[in-house]
Amino acid sequence: MKKEYRLQKNEEFQAVFREGRSVANRQFVVYTQKADQAHFRVGLSVSKKLGNAVERNRMKRLMRESLRLLEPNVAPHNYVIIARKPATSLTQDEVTESLKHAFKRAKVWKQRQVDRS
């Protein structure tokens, strides 16, 4: 994920927690904060409770790939995504669908029209 798409500093994470709002499903909690920018920025959080470093890094890779696939349909806000325990057993497609569901619940999903010309 490109640097400009990431939240990196603790202050950025805290601003999203403080000023944003959250939605959740069984696998993820998504905090959203409106921002005036050209694309979304995201911070990922996977707790040590979810497994060892290998499992946590796998979860982050799956989340980053899902975000890459969903990018055209996600509003350009700041997000912090927290993985929950059930997310560790998901496949790539299931992670993508679960994040899509969370974004729809947060009302930040915008369906792109397919140009068929």
Query: What long-range pairs does 73-76 form, CB within 8 A, spacing at least 24?
Result: 73/100, 73/103, 73/109, 73/110, 73/111, 73/112, 74/40, 74/103, 74/108, 74/109, 74/110, 75/40, 75/108, 75/109, 75/110, 76/35, 76/37, 76/38, 76/39, 76/40
Q: Enter the pTM of the model.
A: 0.89
Chunked in runs of 10, what are the mean pLDDT values of the chain (117 residues)? 87 92 94 90 94 94 93 91 93 94 90 56
Where residue 49 sits, what CATH number does that domain have?
Answer: 3.30.230.10
Domain boundaries, position 58: 3-105
In a domain, 99, yes or no: yes
In a domain, 116, yes or no: no
In a domain, 62, yes or no: yes
In a domain, 110, yes or no: no
Counting the structural domains of the chain, the total is 1
